[in-house]
Amino acid sequence: MAKFGKWLGGGLGWAFGGPIGAILGFAVGSAIDSVVTVEGSVINNQSNKRKANDFSLSLLVLIAAVMKADGKVLKSELDYVKNFFLKQFGSEHTQELLITLREILKKDIPIQEVCLQIKTYTLYPARLQLIHLLFGVASVDGQVQQDELNVIKIIAGNLGIKPNDFASIKAMFFKEVDGDYKILEIEKSVSDEEVKKAYRRMAVKYHPDKVSHLGEEFQKSAKEKFQKVQEAYENIKKQRGMN
């Protein structure tokens, strides 16, 4: 339990129990009594902190599942993940994340059960962000391996991610024919007006404010996804000569 003291000190919500809690070895009964409760005006801040911690632990468990997809975990992969965390969270939080990740990598991960827990307690935009983050981690070495892609697809299915949304996020990391159209979830044959409507729809769907409850760290990553939508729209406009 000491290994995860910082997580408990920062507060956990739904991730404290269920499959995720079991993976980390949380003893819900006695340990939950030792968690400091917060009263008064800081309750909302504590609630947001717990949401962010729950989301971070969910991400770590799913990252571990992707890293173990090919049956082995390489030091180079851990280095890639470390660099990803540094970019997103800074050095102090990265150390916590890596210690926790190494513990998770030692465990068997029941993907279906973990995803059901995450799906039960998170909003759809947060689950979209998880898939985007998993692709980001898997692609840090310049390519996504087929085994990793298969696991991410399984995770997405169990999280209830719609096929067109999965294809949209995947197209942000793969050079595909008509990839810009896939990002906007439209066919190349649509009219200019439909392109504009699709952009507005996707801009709302992927706006960073959709995950504001998860904290600045995850909003930073959400901005990258939002920028990909903007870039896809600008590319299509240029190709078509749209105003």
pLDDT tens readout for residues 103-146? 888 888 999 999 998 998 888 999 999 999 899 888 877 778 89
126 vs 48, more confident: 126
Domain boundary among 79, 105, 121: 121
- Are residues 30 and 103 both part of a single domain? yes
pLDDT bin (cut points 50, 70, 90) of residue 32 is very low
Q: Is residue 134 in a domain?
A: no
Round to whole Å and give the CA distance between 231 and 227.
Answer: 6
Query: In whole angstroms, how large is the CA radius of gyration of the chain?
Result: 19
Residue 44 has pLDDT above 60, yes or no: no
Domains contained in the chain, number: 2
Instruction: Return mean pLDDT, the chain.
Output: 81
Residue 136 lies in a domain: no
Tens of pLDDT along 195-237?
A: 999 999 999 999 988 888 777 777 877 888 899 999 999 999 9
Q: Does any domain span residue 86?
A: yes
**Nearest alpha-carbon partner for 58 in 11, 108, 5, 121:** 121
Q: Model's pTM, two decimal places?
A: 0.81
**Is residue 193, in this structure, part of any structural domain at all?**
yes
> Do the domain assignments include residue 1?
yes
Asked whether residue 143 is domain-assigned, the answer is: no
Q: Please indicate, yes or no, whether residues 101 and 10 belong to a single structural domain of this protein.
A: yes
Question: Are 7 and 92 within one domain?
Answer: yes
- In this structure, is residue 94 part of a structural domain? yes
By residue range, what is the domain housing residue 8?
1-121
- Read off the pLDDT of residues 65-84 as tens digits, 9 standing for 90 and up: 998 887 778 777 788 788 87
Does the residue 126 lie in any domain? no
Domain shared by 98 and 2, yes or no: yes
- One domain, residues 104 and 216: no
